[in-house]
Structure 1
């Protein structure tokens, strides 16, 4: 199992970015991962139970990255459904709760990854819950974009603007709690392809594909801006995931579509995605 995981990471590294001399990699000893489901990995085997409601996988990108870096400790505080408010407050789950994610940080923490933003104001949930329902109204048009446009304003773009401020504040808090740490703001892999459709996997109207791609790019820009404003470093997963959207061939996709799978939740990362993202972050660190 572990051999297969690292083989997948090696493939992801080779496909995503050119090789970089290994000697450029700094040593990290105390790594903490903060984030939502795209960090946690719901349904990806094997699922941890600390707490079970967070959907944390023992093969998510933070676990794989910790192994690649040979850290002394890797602490995964991520939890499915988390937004930026859960950096400082507990997240209530069906059974129990997940403590404020910032509580995982220590003065000796020297590396932090933060994968948050997509759940602020239910941004991601609004898209995946609403767009498939509206598709029958205008299958070749953009009914979802029209639904979220009020008086000529794209309301979801407004949400992304607010999220940028929330994430900037959150990243500053991370630096306060872990002043020695290199802090990485990790973006999201792309859900929709840059062109074409796959209605059986992503049941959106044809015209909404391009709009969703624009929102994904806008969210990536917001995360990058928050990283710059807080003295953090942005890891561009969106760009690196070109060709690995949910419409890609099985084995190439980094994200599941609207498919019922035992090894991945709907619209959530798959194991190949975790391997890919860990490789992208690892190479980002090697590049300095």
Structure 2
């Protein structure tokens, strides 16, 4: 049955209502010669931020996260942690703005700053898009205006003018400075990275069937997004943080591009139920860009020899024992460290990491995140791993 303009508008408004509710809210070990360089401890990494950080809508969902936060185990913080061997504390939450750094965003969800400490080594975030509701509101309102105009002209720019950008400059920017200053106070020795938002729309033209923005408003929304990213950049510079620019690397990967190329899912025809947000590919590319800008060392993509056998045994055990996702991630990170150091011939460091693996198993058991049979199986695995790696 063909859609009438009324039913199309109703469907579109429903999708855009969902958009308003969720949008933007919804290291180096070397060895050489006779003397090996001392091994570095795993980074204590805390991830803060909004739904671009939490990867709202990307499967699988992190079962350890509050449901309201829409956090995925494939968000860019998890990717960074896996690639670097960092110890991740992820408090990203869809819908967050800078006030949620200091205040509880939802009942039972602590202020994000509470995750930081003097021992934190690395902090990442995307934040600011939800402040004053500016960015999500602008995209939704411009989409509705595009429907009304049939995609012709620049109805959103004609109606709102510089209002959105003025709010970003006068309200969002100082809020970002305060948030980043608070982060610095809570984690004084941490390296802090503030990520910009990847492009949502192309420079010109648009794709009205997928992103219902009038052609003349495409550049208008691009300008607003650049103003937001510039506010993040200036706030990072003002507080000694590192700005991770996403504009250049995400060019050509906006929501108008085909699946497999786009980083951002469109309003219509996409794969992410949370529209106008990064997909898993986009999150992985945001992670890669952050690792590159910060110069973080990564663990080998695939271990070889006995190390590969140890990881294969661990993965089989984790699957057989049905370990919780969060427990599995914490333990597997430690197994990676054991394998990495053993592969470099740093047996003393590998034995130390083996001890931290056993200690983590004990902590998980005491916190009732492991059953007794699971903990005993993991302890047996650790002894077999030591034998396989000649530790």
Q: Same fold (TM over 0.5)?
A: yes
Contact kept, 8 Å, 1:43 with 1:262, in 2: the verdict is: no
Equivalent residues in 2 for 1:162-177, closer than 5 Å: 162-177=171-186
* Partner of residue 6, structure 2: none
CA shift for structure 1 position 196:
2.3
* Partner of residue 158, structure 2: 146
Note closer, same or farther for the CA distance 1:164–1:197 as it changes in structure 2 (3 Å cut). Answer: same
2:233 corresponds to which of 224, 234, 239: 224
**2:167 aligned with 1:159:** yes
Larger radius of gyration: 2
Aligned residues: CA RMSD = 2.0
2:196 corresponds to which of 158, 173, 187: 187
Query: Structure 2 CA distance, aligned partners of 1:211 and 1:77?
Result: 33
CA shift for structure 1 position 261:
5.1
Higher helix share: 2
Query: Structure 1 CA distance, aligned partners of 2:116 and 2:268?
Result: 36
* Partner of residue 81, structure 1: 95
Query: Structure 2 CA distance, aligned partners of 1:213 and 1:241?
Result: 13
Secondary structure, counterpart of 1:176 in structure 2: helix
Equivalent residues in 2 for 1:25-44, closer than 5 Å: 29-44=43-58
* Partner of residue 69, structure 2: 54
TM-score by length of 2: 0.63
* Gapped regions of structure 1 (runs ≥ 5): 1-20
Count of residues in correspondence between the two structures: 258
Secondary structure, counterpart of 1:117 in structure 2: coil
Query: Structure 2 CA distance, aligned partners of 1:252 and 1:179?
Result: 38
Higher strand share: 1
Residues 152-206 of structure 1 show CA distances to partners (whole Å, capped at 9, x for unaligned) of xx11011111211100110010010001100011110100001222111110000
Secondary structure, counterpart of 1:74 in structure 2: strand
Residues 100-129 of structure 1 show CA distances to partners (whole Å, capped at 9, x for unaligned) of 000111211000012100000111221232
Q: Greater relative contact order: 1 or 2 (C-alpha under 8 angstroms, separation 6 or more)? A: 1
Query: Structure 1 CA distance, aligned partners of 2:217 and 2:29?
Result: 42
Note closer, same or farther for the CA distance 1:103–1:118 as it changes in structure 2 (3 Å cut). Answer: same
Query: Structure 2 CA distance, aligned partners of 1:124 and 1:158?
Result: 12
TM-score by length of 1: 0.85
* Partner of residue 269, structure 1: 278
Query: Structure 2 CA distance, aligned partners of 1:81 and 1:104?
Result: 18
* Partner of residue 208, structure 1: 217
Secondary structure, counterpart of 1:35 in structure 2: coil
Contact kept, 8 Å, 1:142 with 1:207, in 2: the verdict is: yes
Contact kept, 8 Å, 1:260 with 1:266, in 2: the verdict is: no
Equivalent residues in 2 for 1:228-247, closer than 5 Å: 228-247=237-256
Equivalent residues in 2 for 1:57-136, closer than 5 Å: 57-71=72-86, 73-92=87-106, 96-136=107-147
* Partner of residue 361, structure 2: none
* Gapped regions of structure 2 (runs ≥ 5): 1-27, 31-39, 298-391
Residues 20-64 of structure 1 show CA distances to partners (whole Å, capped at 9, x for unaligned) of x998xx975100010100000112111024201100000100000
Note closer, same or farther for the CA distance 1:263–1:197 as it changes in structure 2 (3 Å cut). Answer: closer
